[in-house]
Structures are given as structure tokens and as C-alpha cells.
Amino acid sequence: MRKVLFTIAMVLAVAGASAQGQGQGGGRPPMGGGMFGGQQQIDVKFDEYVAAPQGYDRETAGIERGELQVVEYFSTTTDTTRKVTIYLPPKYDTSKKYPVLYLLHGIGGDHREWMQGVPNIIMDNLIAQNKAVPMIVVMPNGRAIKNDAAGGNIYGMEMQQGFANFERDLIDNLIPFIEKNYSVYTDKNNRAIAGLSMGGGQSLNFGLGNMDKFAFVGGFSSAPNTRQPVQLIPDIEKTKQENKLLWMVCGSRDGLMQNSSRLKAFCDENGIPCTLIQYPEGQHDFVVWKYGLYNFAQLIFK
């Protein structure tokens, strides 16, 4: 009974967070051609854009639903207790094992930000249609600092350090926590990482930097924290062998395209399979990020 109450409370907490809508992320600066329009354009061949079907992000009547929780884990990286949002697939069954997608938020957000992109609805629909395998989606707080509240001086050094340090929290604390408390596979072929903007940069940095941990890597509108291609991919042959998916999307009207296109150009030059879709008229927002999740989730763990 206690467990049931706890879960209900958490589901309500998550629903409340998402109901606050766009303003919830802690104040995202405008990111269209304007504010970050200064980046150099790189000529690359984009992969084909195929629109997501109508209703992919709307609740479907009569299908099984997954469950949302907010839980806490202790981090030795920050020496604090940290919150994480977790999506369990429909009919989550501890006699089975599931793969895990780590899904990271942007610079102004926290563990609740992805709720603006209704990941639970997108995943319920994909799983009901057999387009994605049942998986657990883990949405952490990507700022590994003592005060990890959304907002603050998001472009300050301490925050940048906190975003970089999340690599340690993820690998040393969060992944072990998930593997101890949920019924999951623990090999790299059953672990994926993707994120939006700052979290896209983190996903490319941490995913390609830890190919023994993540075989599937995605970056949606990745931010300038994305490392240079030669840093991301120091060993071309190893990357070809170990990475199973490198997938990116960015809006055509997003001033941050270069972080994705320079990696795509490097991959194309070196024969590394890599996808970059340019979302038509896409800006720096959840229209693009929901599309990212919808597509990425169908390509992983297969």
C-alpha cells in the first residue's frame, strides 16, 4: 500500500510539473537564427526528413500506459540526494528485463523539463504500435552541482562545470542506481543516451566518450558544449566497430546547427555511419525535440 501511495504521489508531482508548461524549464533564452545566429554554416548532406504521423504525441484511447515516477538517488559526485524522472513501459514486469534510454534536458531545465515533450505519451504510442521495444526512460537532472535547481546563472562557469561533471554522476551513481532498483539489462547494447540542446551536447560527449557504456547516441539541437569532432571521435575504426547509432536532428531555423553539422561532416569524410536530419522551419524547441525522441526511440535496441 505504501508503495502504491508513493507512486501515485509521484505521478501527481510529475503531472503538476508538466502542467506548468513552457515556463517550467527555468527560462530558456531565445535560440533561433537571432541570438545564436553567428555560427558558421557547414555544407552537409542532410538525411531525409519524414514527418511524424499526426497524433504521435497525443494520448491514444484504449492503449496500455506506462508509469511515471520521480525518485531520488544519492550522488557521491555532489554528495547530495538528486531527483530523477523515470518512465516505466506499460505492464512493467520485474520478471522481465528492459533496455534503458537516458534522456537529458537543456540548459535551463531539470529532471522535469522533458515532461513538456510528453515522452510518456510518445513512448506509450510507439510501444503500442510495436514501433519501439518496451524500454525504461530515465530523465535525470544534468547539472551535477550541490544546488541543482533549474535557473541560476546558466552560462556561468560553475554551471558549465556542473554539466560536464554529470558524466561522473551518471556513470558512477545514476546508472548503478537504476541497475540496482529496476529490472534492466546492463550491457552497452541495451543502453542509449540522447538529449536536447545542452543535453544533446552532453549525450554526444558522454555517449561517444564511453562507448563501452552506450551503443546508441542521439543529439537533438545540440549546444556549443558539444566537443569538436576529433575529440568526440579520436579513434575512427573503434567508433565504427562499437557505436551502433549516431543520430542527430536540428531545426533549420536554429542558430546552433553547426554543432551537429560539423560532426556530420566529419563522419561523412571518415565513413562513420551518422544521421543528421534538418527539421524544416524547425526552431530551438520541443517541436524538434519530440520529433527527435519519436525517431530515436524507434532505432535503438534493435
Site residues, ligand FER (CB under 6 A): 28, 31, 36, 106-107, 197-198, 223-225
For the chain, the straight-line distance linking the first and the last C-alpha, in angstroms and rounded, comes to 37
- Choice between 106 and 282, CB closer to ligand FER: 106
The residue among 300, 301, 287 whose CA lies nearest residue 49 is: 287
**Least CB distance to ligand FER at residue 286 (A):** 11
- Choice between 57 and 113, CB closer to ligand FER: 113
Give CA–CA dist 213/205, Å, rounded.
Answer: 13
**Least CB distance to ligand FER at residue 80 (A):** 22
- Choice between 198 and 204, CB closer to ligand FER: 198
CA 85 to chain CA centroid, nearest Å: 12
- Choice between 119 and 134, CB closer to ligand FER: 119
Q: Which three cell numbers stand for residue 115?
A: 515532461
Beta pairing, strands 136-140 & 67-75: unpaired
**Least CB distance to ligand FER at residue 293 (A):** 16
> 195 near 142, Cβ under 8 Å?
yes
**Least CB distance to ligand FER at residue 224 (A):** 4
- Choice between 36 and 166, CB closer to ligand FER: 36
**Least CB distance to ligand FER at residue 193 (A):** 16
Residue type, 37: G
Three-point CA angle 130, 133, 139, nearest 5°: 125
